[in-house]
Amino acid sequence: MLTFSPPARFLAFTRRLLPWLGALTGLVLLVGLVWSLAYSPPDYQQKDSVRIMYVHVPSAYLGLFAYMVMAAASAVALIWKKPLADITARATAPLGAAFTFLCLATGSLWGKPMWGTWWVWDARLTSMLVLLFLYLGYMALANAFDDRTRGDRAAAVLCLVGVVNIPIIKFSVDWWNTLHQPASVIKPGGPAVDPSILGPLLTMILGFQLLFITLVLIRMQSGIAAAQIRALSQRT
Amino acid sequence: MIAVFLTVLGRDIRLAVRQGTDSLMVVAFFVVTVVLFPFGVGPESAVLERISAGVLWVTALLASMLSLDRLFQQDYEDGSLDHLTRAPAPLAGIVAAKVAAHWLTTALPLIAAAPLLAILLHMRPEGFAVLVVAMVLGTPTLSLIGAVGAALVLGARRGGVLVALLILPLYVPVLIFGVSAVDAAVMGFAYTAQIKILAALLMASLVLCPLATSLALRQALE
């Protein structure tokens, strides 16, 4: 990447947006955490361990959402060859991997008291694990080439191939009737979750979503800075 | 188009036959690895019978993965891949020919060896026919998915290790349905559903994988 002109409007926009976005993220997460951990009712059966859900569900959702963002950015990068799209895809991957890992880890902690086991080879758990491996494969492939653009392109193709896994994760609980419960928030006929739990849950999902956007923007800024440094050091 | 397909197919098969040892190595890896399992888990026939389908599938999957570097690596290094991408035919068709040649020279010997190894692992005879059918339907899918991975890692550092991380997660559906078809047949349940799903996976990857592979090859040669 010999010539890299930083997207000035994007940088100016994010520089002004980020402080506000960061403050809003902190506020929503604080409200969500206090509401879900202290003021939401314990489950009649699961007692307080139901509160794991307030971290588990948002991170599962973001693990999938981050992959879709990455896939969309990869498609844009392959079709229109926009450098900013490559930077977006690279910025998203570690975040998605982290949220997927958080989902698997909290699920495991929740599974021990509820199902009596840390791990089952259930369809949804297995497909989530495959998603984590896809993220790891993406990051490994993107950094495996001496030529950075080559890594960008190869990883983008891999990311698009991996999209087949997303519907499998989403519908795994409907296709195979296994231990993990089916969809209960977004389903025909309204949520099957009590409003006293749905409120803090949706707040936490919003907080995680804002956190994700904030972190992606920060990572994109540093990605742009890194590309500028590379372009400068190649010129001399 | 058909002529180019047959030319590439013939060329790759001839190359594989004349180099000879490569195909044999894959089968040898398959046999030796399967034979390790009785040493690892103990020779009780009940245990071996229970795990036989899984062991055969996982080992066949690893063997087919190990042979993937043969698919494009040599052509990439000596430059013939550049010529193939400029042939008067869609690159996806040429990729399909190369994958077909790869399947004929590496996976077909594995399928031939599988029933023999199934006997060594005390699989019940009811499973043999289903094992062969499932592998005939499943291994082309493995070759097709593997071609995407092999094309992606061309020119990468430590491509051989990387390709495992990229494609083994995508092999999981074939493994699940391949093993469960054989297990169902051995236990006397219906197994047509699993066979149909394997066929569906093959159809889908037959359409999508050559396209993804040719995309990956083009950007590798840019």
pLDDT at A147: 84
Q: Is the pLDDT of residue A41 over 80?
A: no
Higher pLDDT, A76 or A171: A76
- % of chain B at pLDDT higher than 90: 37
Q: pTM (2 decimals)?
A: 0.84
Mutation to test the A interface, candidates B180, B219, B222, most A Cβ within 10 Å: B219
Rounded to whole angstroms, the Cα distance separating A35 from B167 reads 43
Q: Which residues of A touch B (CB under 8 A)?
A: 78, 126, 130, 133-134, 136-137, 140-141, 144-146, 150, 153-154, 157-158, 160-162, 164-165, 168
pLDDT in tens, B68-81: 888 888 888 888 88
Closest-CA distance, A133 to chain B, in angstroms, reads: 7
B162, B168, B212 member nearest A144 (Cβ):
B162
Least confident of A14-23, A170-179, A215-224, B39-48: A170-179
pLDDT in tens, B148-157: 999 999 888 8
pLDDT in tens, B160-197: 788 888 888 889 889 988 998 998 898 888 889 899 99
Tokens in use for A41?
A: 């009712």
Closest-CA distance, A229 to chain B, in angstroms, reads: 23
- pLDDT grade for A178, boundaries at 50, 70 and 90: low
Range of the domain at B121: 1-221
DSSP letters of chain B? -HHHHHHHHHHHHHHHHHH-HHHHHHHHHHHHHHHHHHHHH-S-HHHHHHHHHHHHHHHHHHHHHHTTHHHHHHHHHHTHHHHHHTSSS-HHHHHHHHHHHHIIIIIHHHHHHHHHHHHHTT--THHHHHHHHHHHHHHHHHHHHHHHHHHHTTT-TTHHHHHHHHHHHHHHHHHHHHHHHHHHHHHT---HHHHHHHHHHHHHHHHHHHHHHHHHHHHHH-
- pLDDT grade for B137, boundaries at 50, 70 and 90: very high
- Total number of domains in chain B: 1
Q: Is the pLDDT of residue A15 over 60?
A: yes
- % of chain A at pLDDT higher than 90: 37
